[in-house]
Chains A and B, each alone.
Chain A
């Protein structure tokens, strides 16, 4: 608004361009794609579980899982590789795909270490689920977005909520007890929403009738939420996984802060 007195104020819930049919779209970007270490694989990968780590605690946890092998990467053409290290690092702007070393089951972990815009989320979700990767079950780990949360969030307390697809929830109705992946977690409260890639992934699972769970934790980083996420994963998702990290490193995580810093997600910083 150039003149706050005479100009018509914009609507507060939408940007003006959201309500304008004649806003021009942003220039089209090249499509994202998957790159695997074993090229020309004709059959899709069919993991029993696909874990998509997006929150800082989950990225930290997955990074320190030793029994995993890098098998591929999701490439978003607009994300530069400059500044990335040769070996996978938590500081890299990358979206690597790992396979857990398990003879019986194929479990894939996708570590999303850069921000994916809401506009790109639909295409990325389509790439990760239902085409070259067809999982039996999906677990997405994200953080609560305070701007979309209609309840109270205290930075002194840790929370975790979940949302599940109908197929995942079906276990509750079958009379065989709670067979969902994350038992004991409360559902995300009605009236609040989750957007972005996590939402796109869960939505895709729902429409493809795949068992899917989206777990959102709060706060975004810190030792307490790190412990909570680690406990959830080791207890319910990956029991028996050999995982050990000393207390000093966990302390370092809680002091260091977010792995994805939206302000520093810029080509200027390498």
Chain B
């Protein structure tokens, strides 16, 4: 049993302290139990309580200044076996969000709570997935668990406050770090208009970016025939600048050092998936981005493609889902508006 040495206290007081860096799995569970109803990541003082008999100590820690709050839905609980997290990044075609919709609907994942973040613009709606029971309220940032697939899914329905993408990504990273997820998968579209090397040999190619290696490669993804995002270069200035923002070394108030000379290579690190990737990586988390090129339009086929890719990587099959196959969310019936008014003809 470690004594609460001064060094341990100083480390815990560090503003860049995170649960994953300091706690053993047992201590993490204890802290999670303390905050089982409400994760409030605001700065608090450290209270060290050493309980000799049980030979563990736990403390209410000084978290980073995350303003995202996790509220567990009434009567629901967190499923610890859901060690993998899937979340969308905002992108052209809303492909990541549509893919997560499809996964939630098909797995019949259970909503367990909400994330409240001031950087997410508010929106509400009726149940997005199933026609009954009627009137189940949908909020902008929701957390779902699929215990059968050991999966947690976060769905984001609305855009972010202007200029707060990195701030939001940091809040997400804080939440994920505290929740003990082992691996995070980010789903996102990429603009087809930016596709530099057209490769028609393999149909709708899936691209990826992983924290497994410093160059972004991942053996599991390579085995599936996917290609690492070619434009990823961790030493490229924008990727490095994003890393400094993610680590809290730089602030976004600083003038962009190279604003007048932006080139094609500066495009990818400017995208929301890159902010999530960098912030999660900065927390020492395992993260993989799954990306597919698309254009604005009917992006439902792109959503299927990305969702299928996620399942392949996770070793899941839609045939084993509760519904036995893909289930199109109920809200997709009107995703492109109502049918034309036939009285015109």
A-side residues, CB < 8 A to B, are: 8-9, 11-14, 17-26, 118-119, 121-123, 125, 150-152, 163-167, 169, 187-200, 202-203, 206-207, 209, 214
B side interface size, CB within 8 A: 64
Residues in B with CB closer than 8 Å to A20 are 165, 270-271
List, sorted by A's number, 16 A–B pairs whose CB atoms are closer than 8 Å: A11-B191, A13-B296, A17-B163, A20-B270, A21-B166, A22-B256, A23-B165, A150-B338, A187-B135, A190-B125, A190-B333, A193-B125, A193-B157, A194-B123, A198-B124, A199-B123
Contact pattern, B 97-134, Cβ under 8 Å of A = 1, otherwise 0: 00000000000000000101010011111111001001
A187 and B126 form a contact (CB under 8 A): yes
A200 and B92 form a contact (CB under 8 A): no
B140 at the interface (CB under 8 A from A): yes
B248 at the interface (CB under 8 A from A): no
- Among B122, B193, B331, residue most surrounded by chain A Cβ atoms (within 10 Å): B122
Given the interface contacts A18-B90, A165-B137, does A190 sit within 8 Å of B128 by beta carbon?
yes
B20 at the interface (CB under 8 A from A): no
Bound: A19/B95 CA distance, A: 13
Bound: A12/B136 CA distance, A: 29
- Among A123, A166, A189, A191, residue most surrounded by chain B Cβ atoms (within 10 Å): A191
Residue of B nearest to A167 (CB): B74
Residues in B with CB closer than 8 Å to A191 are 125-126, 128, 330-335
Residues in B with CB closer than 8 Å to A164 are 135, 137
B341 and A152 form a contact (CB under 8 A): yes
Given the interface contacts A152-B341, A165-B137, does A206 sit within 8 Å of B114 by beta carbon?
yes
B4 at the interface (CB under 8 A from A): no
B275 and A125 form a contact (CB under 8 A): no
Cβ-neighbour of A151 out of B91, B128, B331, B338 (below 8 A): B338
B143 at the interface (CB under 8 A from A): no
Residues in B with CB closer than 8 Å to A19 are 90-92, 270-272
B-side residues, CB < 8 A to A, are: 69, 71, 73-74, 90-94, 114, 116, 118, 121-128, 131, 134-137, 139-140, 157-166, 169, 191, 193-194, 238, 241-242, 245, 252-253, 256, 269-272, 274-275, 296, 330-335, 337-338, 341
Other A-B pairs, 5, CB within 8 Å; known A21-B169, A22-B241: A150-B337, A191-B330, A193-B124, A203-B116, A206-B137
B252 and A190 form a contact (CB under 8 A): no
Bound: A187/B242 CA distance, A: 43
B331 and A190 form a contact (CB under 8 A): yes
Bound: A253/B256 CA distance, A: 51
Cβ-neighbour of B163 out of A26, A150, A151, A167 (below 8 A): A26
Cβ-neighbour of B159 out of A18, A151, A163 (below 8 A): A18
A118 and B122 form a contact (CB under 8 A): yes
Bound: A167/B139 CA distance, A: 15
Bound: A187/B275 CA distance, A: 37
Residue of A nearest to B130 (CB): A190
Residues in B with CB closer than 8 Å to A26 are 162-163
A-B contact count (CB 8 A): 160
A121 and B126 form a contact (CB under 8 A): no
A187 and B139 form a contact (CB under 8 A): no
B71 and A18 form a contact (CB under 8 A): no
Residue of A nearest to B115 (CB): A207
A194 and B125 form a contact (CB under 8 A): yes
Given the interface contacts A17-B162, A21-B272, does A190 sit within 8 Å of B123 by beta carbon?
no
Bound: A67/B90 CA distance, A: 48
- Among A23, A118, A169, residue most surrounded by chain B Cβ atoms (within 10 Å): A23
Bound: A26/B119 CA distance, A: 12
A163 and B137 form a contact (CB under 8 A): yes
Residues in B with CB closer than 8 Å to A203 are 116, 122, 124, 139-140
Residue of A nearest to B253 (CB): A24
Bound: A250/B299 CA distance, A: 47
Cβ-neighbour of A214 out of B124, B161, B238 (below 8 A): B124
Residues in A with CB closer than 8 Å to B139 are 203, 206-207
- Among A150, A164, A194, A197, residue most surrounded by chain B Cβ atoms (within 10 Å): A150
Bound: A207/B163 CA distance, A: 26
Bound: A123/B67 CA distance, A: 13
A199 and B122 form a contact (CB under 8 A): yes
Residue of A nearest to B139 (CB): A203
Given the interface contacts A26-B162, A194-B124, A203-B139, does A21 sit within 8 Å of B334 by beta carbon?
no
A189 and B124 form a contact (CB under 8 A): no
Given the interface contacts A152-B341, A192-B334, does A11 sit within 8 Å of B135 by beta carbon?
no
Residues in B with CB closer than 8 Å to A152 are 338, 341
Bound: A26/B330 CA distance, A: 37
- A97 CB to closest chain B CB (Å) equals 21
Bound: A246/B128 CA distance, A: 43
Residues in A with CB closer than 8 Å to B91 are 19
A195 and B123 form a contact (CB under 8 A): yes
Give the 8 A-B CB pairs with smallest separation, nearest first: A25-B163, A191-B334, A150-B334, A200-B122, A191-B331, A199-B122, A190-B126, A187-B135
